Amino acid sequence: MNLAEPVKGFPVVFSTGDPHGIGPEVILKALSQFPTIHPIIFGDPHYLEELRQDLGLSYDLDQVEVIASGHYDYPPAWGTLEKKAGRFALQCLESAVEYCRESRLPLLVTGPINKKATHLCGSTRPGQTELVASFFPTANPVMAFFSERLRVLLITVHIPLREVPLALHHDELVSKTEVFIEALHHIDISKPRLALCGLNPHASEEGSFGDEEKTILEPAVHTLNQKYGPETVSGPFPADTIFRRALENEFDGVIALYHDQGLIPLKLVAFESAVNVTLGLPLVRTSPDHGTAFDIAGQGIADSRSMVQAIEWGIRLARI
């Protein structure tokens, strides 16, 4: 990625994620590549220092502002799902979001959490996107994924597949796409070319397999092109071919209607480099596009490339 050097002292707030997973490890590994930012980490300072020593990292935590979100024993029970780990991950995340909101800071980078662990301690939010958004009740949160090869907007997120058709609405599709377009403007794509996926096989083939393309998707495309120009959004297209066209640079981004429609192709081509981005809030939130990786936690072998990308994309999207 061609990333301009961030302004010296640019504040980047981190929540460490589940302490039994690889989140704290990949954060510490990634920080050495960003000597000019001002990292603010919500976690346990003693846990992080012990982990740094175990990883053999020369990066000095004296260069980092660590704000204690509570105490967590080190070493933890690596790779295990526990209620107390979920509670600590939530404490770190909630404290970090509140800090960003009160201090009006533009960027939050989150380590991965285990959703079952957070649900065990009472959280009803499906994931971090929804939890962060709950701090800004009047905002229009949007989940997107950014990589150099492919950028994807999700219209619906964590809902059962059978509910997707009923969750598609013209106005919401338009408003979420507008947020996506503004984000693309922010990374210097002044005239984005977007492709909208159809819902049904072959984009319904003129109504043969459903009418959502005709009744919802085509009117939304018309509304967006009236505002942004006639070639801004194209489609709806059959989802089984449109991602290939995007990879061949025919489009700057793809609008997917549901979670797996967008994320299966994204993770096939950009698993190590794709970044989960929450847009439409007073801050930008990014996260690596992987989970807690309990199977390798505590072994010191976690790959930090996706966390590096999360920081880089966050800086690009959040920098004023």
The tens digit of pLDDT for each residue in 162-205 reads 999 999 999 999 999 999 999 999 999 999 999 999 999 999 88
- Residue 144 is assigned to a structural domain of this protein: no
- Band of residue 7 on the pLDDT scale cut at 50, 70, 90: low
Range of the domain at 233: 149-272
Residue 81 shares a structural domain with residue 202: no
Residue 107: give its domain's CATH number.
3.40.718.10
Evaluate if residue 2 carries a pLDDT over 70: no
84 against 128, higher pLDDT:
84
Q: Vertex 276, ends 161 and 232: CA angle to 5°? A: 80
Rounded-to-integer distance, Cα 256 and Cα 239, Å:
8
Q: Assess contact for 3 and 312: CB atoms under 8 A.
A: yes
Residue 180 shares a structural domain with residue 90: no
Q: Assess contact for 305 and 1: CB atoms under 8 A.
A: no
Segment 236-258 shows an average pLDDT of 97
In this structure, the strands spanning 275-279 and 142-146 are antiparallel
Structurally, the chain folds into a number of domains equal to 2
Q: What percent of the chain has pLDDT over 90?
A: 86
pLDDT at 313: 95
Rounded-to-integer distance, Cα 232 and Cα 194, Å:
6
Determine if residue 42 is left, alpha or beta; phi over 0 gives left, psi from -120 to 50 gives alpha, anything else beta: beta
**27-53: per-residue pLDDT in tens?**
999 999 999 999 999 999 999 999 999
pLDDT at 319: 72
**279-320: per-residue pLDDT in tens?**
999 999 999 988 999 999 999 999 999 999 999 999 999 975
Evaluate if residue 3 carries a pLDDT over 80: no
- Band of residue 129 on the pLDDT scale cut at 50, 70, 90: confident
Residue 241 shares a structural domain with residue 117: no
Evaluate if residue 226 carries a pLDDT over 60: yes
**Boundary residue ending a domain (272, 292, 309):** 272
